[in-house]
Amino acid sequence: MILTRRQALALSLGATTLAVVGVAPTRSWASAEATEKAVMAFTGGAKPEAGRIALDAPEIAENGNTVPISVSVDSPMTADDYVQSVMFLAEGNPNPDVATFHFTPMSGSASATTRIRLAKTQNVIAVAKMSNGAVFMDTKQVKVTIGGCGG
């Protein structure tokens, strides 16, 4: 079979279009169920309580690429009572797990600061796991705007 130049061009254009459109990645956002599952995996099935953990996040983030967040946990940080780890989650990102910080009694205080990327307006969650098995959680909603225009 001999192809003309026009047929070869049409075939290659069709194949390219199919390749680009047919395998274009689609964005998949984490669901509330996926976030809940990640929290339960982190806590070992224990239900988080309110209190002892304070999440600090901006109410409005003008740039979702770099959102400053910090957490502090009220703990004496002794060998008998200390914060083992703190996990950050973002409900609306493709993967809800953002960061996990681990502490020991030698840490002195259980506080951490970082910058995270948020894909859209969503809840940011901080979960603290204590050495005695207690689990605490705090949630803040962060509105991500484009160019500071709100929404």
Sheet of strand 110-116: strand arrangement: 53-56, 67-73, 110-116
Q: Does the residue 20 lie in any domain?
A: no
pLDDT at 112: 96
Q: Does the residue 14 lie in any domain?
A: no
pLDDT digit string (tens) for the chain, length 151 residues: 787 888 877 878 777 776 666 654 555 666 788 899 999 999 999 999 999 999 999 999 988 899 999 999 999 999 999 999 999 999 988 889 999 999 999 999 999 999 999 988 999 999 999 999 999 999 999 999 875 555 5
Q: How far is CA 136 from CA 35, 48, 88, 133, in A?
A: 15, 5, 12, 10
For the chain, how many structural domains are there in total? 1
Task: Note down the domain range covering 58.
Answer: 28-144
Q: Does the residue 19 lie in any domain?
A: no
Q: How far is CA 143 from the centre of its chain?
A: 14
Q: Does the residue 66 lie in any domain?
A: yes
Q: Does the residue 97 lie in any domain?
A: yes
pLDDT at 93: 87
Q: Does the residue 57 lie in any domain?
A: yes
Q: What is the CATH number of the domain that holds 140?
A: 2.60.40.2470
pTM recorded for the entire structure: 0.77
pLDDT at 31: 75
Q: How far apart are CA 55 and CA 67, in angstroms?
A: 13
